[in-house]
Amino acid sequence: MTHSKLPISLAPLQGYTEAAYRNAHQITFGGITEYYTPFVRYEKGGFRNKDVRDISPSHNSTSQLVPQLLASDLSKAESILALFIDNNYKRVDINLGCPFPMIAKKHNGSGILPYPDEVKDLLRVVTNHPEIEFSVKMRLGWENPDECIALAPILNDIQLKHITMHPRLGKQQYKGTVDLEGLKAFADICRHPLIYNGDIETIDDIDRIHRMFPQLAGMMIGRGLLANPALALEYKTDIILTEKEKIERVKQLHKAVYQQYEVQIEGGDAQLLNKMKTFWEYLTPLIGSKCAKRIKKANKIELYLSEINHIGLV
Ligand SMILES: Cc1cc2nc3c(=O)[nH]c(=O)nc-3n(C[C@H](O)[C@H](O)[C@H](O)COP(=O)(O)O)c2cc1C
């Protein structure tokens, strides 16, 4: 049986998929239906400047941008939402999936999943704002996959565009495998459109998961798209880029990211160099480990840029 193609969105990754990357990706590769911002937090009565800048329309050029909030209670969620509304957003994602212990132990992200009453209170932000189209990005639970089953009635009861499920537990972080049985149990009782997220690296992976879950409304891909920025485009068009074409386009992507950070980063070349090195972290399989090592070792921006010029030439 063949299925129609699923819309692909770019998952948010703090430190990797910031505005500079998202803007550049849409121009040089594209194929993405929705770009998500990494989560915005409200802490000690304020926002981090970098988070405010990252969602600001003046720093973003992607056509479908969804800002994401991470909060442990309704009042914080309302404060972050007010920032999004001030910036004219009508579509917002709520993070119930972040597994980082520092975040989760304060009942943020997947750390809130074992507490249905707290989730219910937090999600009052959805019913309070019928003018905003919300989605939720979550895991199966923190400690065990029954947690999402217990939460299903609460989630089913509110208006959501969709739920994106990363079928791991918070306590797993990114280790182990995804739990597709856990996902199936949730899919069977979830009345919202479901987006799959987790460990997708190839078109075959997308097709395999789609065959297992024909009811899916889309896929969200993070690390797989950072490793192959053409993945969504290739899936959408059925045209597979050669390695050479891919490297050429990655260089264009890099140039477009670099030009934005060059203007944005005020701490001088050392900071720019550090930031740009993260661009290559997931690309080692494409550019080769020797090349990746040379980039990592470059201690001056001029040397770094000359290493980049050499990618794909040897
Ligand atoms: C370094 C890093 C940062 C992340 N930051 C966020 C974030 O800000 N918001 C979020 O919802 N998920 C975040 N995630 C989770 C990803 O969006 C995604 O759910 C996860 O990587 C699994 O999908 P993948 O296997 O396609 O990468 C992050 C993951 C990593 C590895």
Neighbours of 29 (CB within 10 A): 23
| Residue 221 CA to ligand 1 centre (angstroms) | 9
Phi (first) and psi of residue 41, to 5 degrees: -110, 160
| Residue 288 CA to ligand 1 centre (angstroms) | 24
Whether 123 contacts 130, CB under 8 Å:
no
Q: Is the CB of 227 under 6 A from ligand 1?
A: no
Exposed/middle/buried for 55, CB within 10 Å: 0-12, 13-18, 19+? buried
Nearest to 61 by CA among 17, 7, 19: 19
* Signed CA dihedral, 152, 13, 65, 27: sign only: negative
Q: How far are the Cα atoms of 173, 179, 199 from residue 176, in angstroms, in the given order?
A: 9, 9, 11
Nearest to 100 by CA among 89, 90, 87, 111: 111
In terms of residues, how long is the chain?
Answer: 314
| Residue 174 CA to ligand 1 centre (angstroms) | 9
Q: Is the CB of 137 under 6 A from ligand 1?
A: yes
Q: Is the CB of 228 under 6 A from ligand 1?
A: no
Residue 169, beta-bridge partner list: 141
What is the pLDDT tens value at each position of the chain, 314 positions in all? 557 999 999 999 999 999 999 999 999 999 999 999 999 999 999 999 999 999 999 999 999 999 999 999 999 999 999 999 999 999 999 999 999 999 999 999 999 999 999 999 999 999 999 999 999 999 999 999 999 999 999 999 999 999 999 999 999 999 999 999 999 999 999 999 999 999 999 999 999 999 999 999 999 999 999 999 999 999 999 999 999 999 999 999 999 999 999 999 988 899 999 999 999 999 999 999 999 999 999 999 999 999 999 897 65
* pTM, to two decimals: 0.97
Instruction: Enumerate domains of the chain plus CATH numbers.
Output: 8-237 (3.20.20.70), 243-310 (no CATH)
* Signed CA dihedral, 127, 128, 130, 135: sign only: negative
Q: Is the CB of 199 under 6 A from ligand 1?
A: yes
User: CA-to-CA distance for 223 and 213, rounded, in angstroms?
Assistant: 21
Q: How many angstroms from the chain centroid is the CA of residue 195?
A: 13
Eight-class DSSP state of 164 = E
